Amino acid sequence: MATYQDAIDWIARHNGLGSISESYFNTFRGFNHRGAGLPVTYNMDSQGLTFFTRPNLNLSYDNAINDRAFFAIHNDNEASIGRAVLCMLDPKTHRGETGASYGRVDDSKRNADATWLGAGLRSLLVDPRSPFMPLLTNNLISLSGWPDPTLGHYTSDPGVRKEVWSMVDDTIEQFGDFSLTATFRNIAGDPISKLFEIWTRYAAAVYLDDMTPHLDSIVRNTVDYQTRVYRLVLTKDRRYVTKIFACGAAYPLSSALGAAADYSSEKLFVDEVADQITIPFQAVGAMYNDPILMLEFNRLSAMYNPDMVDSVRTTKMKKLDPTVMHKANMNGYPYINLRTEELEWWVYAEDYQTLFTALPVQEDPTGTDLYNQASAVQTVEEPNTTGAVAATSPVRVPTNLTPPATGAAAALQAYPLDDPTK
């Protein structure tokens, strides 16, 4: 007995469109010799995600004291933007690692979190187990400048009858340099401008020998202020990787502070003048759809979080099921399944239970069931990191993680300026 789909296919076929249910197959196999429209959907891939890896700057106290511009990021406020910028750009100081052992954690220390992380600086806004910078990923508006893979060719000189021959005499690989332009949202507190201000100032200080890279960067002769940009194009349900791109290495060329200095009497707030931040990057090398990028992506995640290693991940962590993924947004560590090319998100088993536990209800004296959020969070004053009038930060942290000191006094306390030895 014919179905509704059979009837639709019959109508479409007798009107020159071919079978609707076989339209994709027919596009590959047959010819549209009647010139009728093709009932094939357009590519509906999602824009996906862009990941910026953390550089390896040396922003330790003894190094940063050589430039007063770095004073503000060395403060005692664990919820401050300055502390977050320091920890984001300097993973070694953040994690308390020393020497050339970065990324080579002894197996006996993998299960002892406090031992593994060492005695590094703590930031409530930066995850020490993440190799990426979510601040840039979440606020990225656009990223442009990727070069198209283009073949060079050779054409011979014309013959007697002006005949020529031609051939490819080039590689399709992109090993040259190019410029990337990234535009970000200028969110409250202006952390992105501060991030790139410190990043670019450090790169210049290293060039001038005013600051020194970490020892392992010197030994390995690596450029410690470089990042790698990963571009993942996903299916429309944001589950599978359809394309993956990455540059070999890149570094920012500007902090866009000039735009912040512009003034207009017709605009009341800064966001009306500079609601976006545009950062130019200089990049070297571009890799497109190379399967090894997925392996390198996973190995980088495991380097920062040993619990993401294949041999232990399934015992200590739990994969988020796609059907409940929306409930765990902003949580998890990314992992690309090399067999299915699925972009998986993994959380610790104990965190998984917390994420999917029913919302606690607190009885209100008026008789209404309310969840008292005010008892769980508080507003933290942001220390003045720009020299301008101090402002209140929008950062909200749990009350049991209140930082010990806030404000400009904390920064001055960290840097006793009256001590001639400092």
- The rounded Cα 327 to chain-centroid distance in angstroms is 21
Distances (CA, A) of 231 to 44, 182, 247, 287, 321: 17, 13, 9, 10, 23
Write down the pLDDT at residue 37: 74
Write down the pLDDT at residue 351: 87
- Identify residue 109 by its one-letter amino acid code: K
Write down the pLDDT at residue 188: 87
Q: What angle is formed at CA 123 by the lines to CA 67 and CA 352, rounded to 5 degrees?
A: 155
Write down the pLDDT at residue 98: 55
Phi and psi at 63, nearest 5°, equal -85, -40
User: Cα–Cα distance between 97 and 92 in angstroms, integer?
Assistant: 5
Write down the pLDDT at residue 413: 42
Residue 71 contacts residue 415 (beta carbons within 8 Å) = yes
Write down the pLDDT at residue 252: 97
Which residue in 69, 98, 86 sits closest to 122, CA to CA? 86
User: Cα–Cα distance between 412 and 324 in angstroms, integer?
Assistant: 47
User: Cα–Cα distance between 274 and 166 in angstroms, integer?
Assistant: 51
The domain spans of the chain are 4-41, 47-147+171-414
Indicate the pairing of strand 229-234 with strand 317-319. unpaired
Which residue in 288, 203, 196, 278 sits closest to 247, CA to CA? 288
User: Cα–Cα distance between 321 and 319 in angstroms, integer?
Assistant: 6
Indicate the pairing of strand 343-348 with strand 333-336. antiparallel
Helix segments in 34-170, DSSP class H: 61-64, 81-89, 91-95, 113-117, 134-139
Write down the pLDDT at residue 95: 84
Q: Which residue stretches of the chain have pLDDT < 50?
A: 99-118, 367-422
CB atoms within 10 A of CB 230: 25
Write down the pLDDT at residue 396: 47
Write down the pLDDT at residue 127: 93
Residue 315 CB-half CA count within 13 A: 7
